Amino acid sequence: MDLDSLSDRQLLDLHCSVMEALRLRGVVRSSNSPVADHTETIVARALAAKLATNSQSGYDAVGQDGTRYQIKGRRLTARNESTQLSAIRNLAASPFDHLAAVVCDDRLAVQYAALIPIDVVTRLSRYHAHTNSSTLHFRRSVLNETGVVDITSLVQAATPQ
């Protein structure tokens, strides 16, 4: 498909059609950016966890053993190589047991992924009063922290080809 030959309107229409097709296939769960939904889907598959409802606060999936997972994904591009995950809310209340973090390349191929215990998230993250949230940069070095479990191969295997 020659995307350069399409008008801006045609590209936007194509984007909307693709997002709806992905939603119908269960690849994404909402009409938001596909990065978050895609990450939640592949992590839940990899961990054999059940996705929580979209309105659930504090965690995104529950494992077969009851473990609560907050799932965050980041897509790196040539224009934005930041590994900062989206806001983590209410961290002091321990709303999840593990943060499942995934970094993808610009084509959403999984580069690395980990399960990070909440105590490690609390230690490595930074609180921002103006947004009432914490942020964490999920650099590869986080994989070396005590208690962190590298799940890269599991998540890659759960990613649709």
- Least confident among 3-7, 93-97, 116-120, 138-142: 3-7
How many CB atoms are closer than 10 A to CB 63?
A: 17
Q: In the structure, what pLDDT confidence band is assigned to residue 102 with cuts at 50, 70 and 90?
A: very high
The pair of three-digit structure tokens given for residue 118, joined into one six-digit string: 């909440």
At 9, the pLDDT band (50, 70, 90 cuts) reads confident
Give me 84's structure tokens. 């900062």
pLDDT at 135: 97
CB of 73 closer than 8 Å to CB of 41: no
pLDDT at residue number 55:
75
